[in-house]
């Protein structure tokens, strides 16, 4: 590899802080992703690790230098490449919505399994995904369960716009519809009451006081709406538990992500929700509960 690559790789290794919630980002994957972006063929950090790097002309090297300076200044990699891998989808990314995290794949894969199980028993699956952000969980379900019809919403108009672009980017716009609105409000009609097979949510769950003290890469560049879960971090979660029974049909399921340390208490609250017949916690590789599934 040429001197430019070696020099930049060393700079990333010594000057750049890598966040634990983005384990796919390393000095090498970051440089390769920016290199591809500078060449005009943007890739996520994961996708950039595959194949060889293109040659850069003088213009490409100039673009790469600008990208490197922005990354070292704290701009998220996915904002620079406008790409982020989630499950097995190469998604569009940007400042309008939270950059999808690897930890949320736990929720997404559980939701895919639930939707497949439901699809094995009936002709179609009605899915509602709230706090959808860039649409990552909603689109993962649509991608992997052909009979699923997914309806998703987010409070942020910017997030909804990005989610719609992702649906088109992935060719899923005919089976995934995105609306702007507060939690389940866009679906609070007779059409959805007691008719939803699967309800999913990756809510904000950081306490308000902690949001401003998060790493600058997050607090200065990603939307606060995606993190701020109220004074105790569970305001949205509590509303979700209160509203979910109105939408889920008997035999349906609720699946949602929780913050680190919130799992045990939220599982106990979930067990008391009207209509819940079973609660299943989902633990990550460190045995921390990061998602919950309830059957109705």
Q: Going from the N-terminus, what domains does the chain have, and what CATH number goes with each?
A: 3-81 (1.10.8), 102-295 (3.40.50.150)
Q: Kindly give the residue spans of alpha helices, DSSP state H, lying in the chain.
A: 3-15, 27-38, 45-48, 58-72, 77-81, 105-119, 136-144, 157-169, 208-211, 216-219, 235-247, 263-271
Mean local confidence (pLDDT), 240-245: 97
The Cα–Cα gap between 73 and 186 comes to 38
Average pLDDT for 262-270 = 96
Residue appearing with tokens 């609105």? 181
Q: What mean pLDDT comes out for the span 95-114?
A: 97
What is the rounded average pLDDT of the residues 15-44? 96
Percent of the chain with pLDDT over 70: 99
Confidence band of 95 (pLDDT split at 50, 70, 90): very high
Q: Is the pLDDT reported for residue 89 higher than 90?
A: yes
Asked if 248 and 277 touch (Cβ cutoff 8 Å), the reply is no
Report the C-alpha gap between 26 and 3 in whole angstroms: 19
CA–CA distance, 170 with 120 (Å, rounded to integer): 24
State phi, psi for 90 to the nearest 5 degrees.
-90, 100
Q: With cut-offs at 50, 70 and 90, classify the pLDDT of residue 213.
A: confident
The answer to whether residue 227 scores a pLDDT higher than 90 is: no
pLDDT of 268-281, one tens digit each? 999 999 999 999 99
* CA torsion through residues 44, 48, 259, 194, sign: positive
Nearest in space to 259 (alpha carbons), one of 217, 218, 226, 213: 226
Judged against a pLDDT cut of 80, whether residue 106 lies above it is answered with yes
Ramachandran angles phi, psi of 122, nearest 5° = -150, 170
pLDDT, position 277: 96
* Long-range CB contacts (within 8 A, 24+) of 187-193: 187/128, 187/151, 187/153, 187/247, 188/246, 192/128, 192/151, 192/247, 193/246, 193/247
What is the per-residue pLDDT for 155?
A: 96
Read off the pLDDT of residues 155-207 as tens digits, 9 standing for 90 and up: 999 999 999 999 999 999 999 999 999 999 999 999 999 999 999 999 988 87
Helix/strand/coil percentages in the chain, nearest 5 = 40, 20, 40
Report d(CA 242, CA 7) in Å as an integer.
54
The pLDDT-based confidence of 129 (bands split at 50, 70, 90) is: very high
Q: Is 162 exposed, middle or buried (0-12, 13-18, 19+ CB in 10 A)?
A: buried
Stretch 211-218: mean pLDDT? 78
Coil, strand or helix at 249: strand
Please name the helix (run of DSSP H) or strand (run of DSSP E) that holds residue 278, with its range, or none. strand 278-283
What pLDDT, on a 0 to 100 scale, did the predictor assign at position 210?
Answer: 78
pLDDT of residue 207: 73
């Amino acid at each position: 590899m040429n001197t430019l690559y070696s020099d930049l790789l060393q700079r990333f290794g010594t000057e750049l802080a890598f966040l634990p919630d983005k384990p796919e980002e390393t000095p090498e994957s970051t440089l390769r992703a920016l290199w591809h972006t500078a060449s005009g063929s943007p890739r996520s950090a994961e996708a950039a690790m595959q194949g060889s790097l293109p040659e850069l002309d003088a213009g490409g090297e100039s673009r790469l230098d600008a990208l490197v300076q922005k990354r070292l200044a704290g701009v998220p990699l996915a904002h620079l490449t406008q790409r982020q891998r989630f499950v097995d989808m190469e998604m569009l990314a940007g400042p309008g919505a939270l950059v999808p995290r690897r930890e949320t794949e736990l929720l997404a894969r559980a939701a895919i399994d639930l939707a497949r199980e439901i699809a094995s028993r009936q002709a179609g699956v009605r899915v509602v995904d709230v706090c959808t952000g860039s649409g990552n969980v909603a689109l993962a379900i649509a991608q992997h369960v052909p009979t699923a019809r997914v309806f998703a919403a987010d409070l942020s108009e910017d997030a909804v716009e990005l989610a719609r672009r992702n649906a088109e980017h992935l060719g899923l716009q005919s089976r995934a519809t995105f609306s702007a609105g507060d939690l389940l409000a866009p679906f609070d009609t007779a059409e959805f009451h007691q008719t939803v097979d699967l309800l999913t949510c990756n809510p904000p769950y950081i306490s308000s006081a902690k949001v401003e003290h998060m790493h600058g890469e997050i607090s200065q560049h990603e939307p606060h709406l995606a993190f701020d879960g109220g004074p105790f971090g569970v305001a949205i979660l509590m509303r979700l538990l209160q509203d979910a029974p109105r939408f889920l049909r008997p035999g349906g399921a609720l699946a949602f992500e929780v913050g680190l340390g919130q799992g045990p208490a939220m599982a106990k609250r979930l067990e008391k929700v009207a209509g819940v017949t079973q609660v299943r916690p989902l633990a990550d590789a460190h045995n921390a509960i990061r998602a919950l599934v309830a059957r109705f």
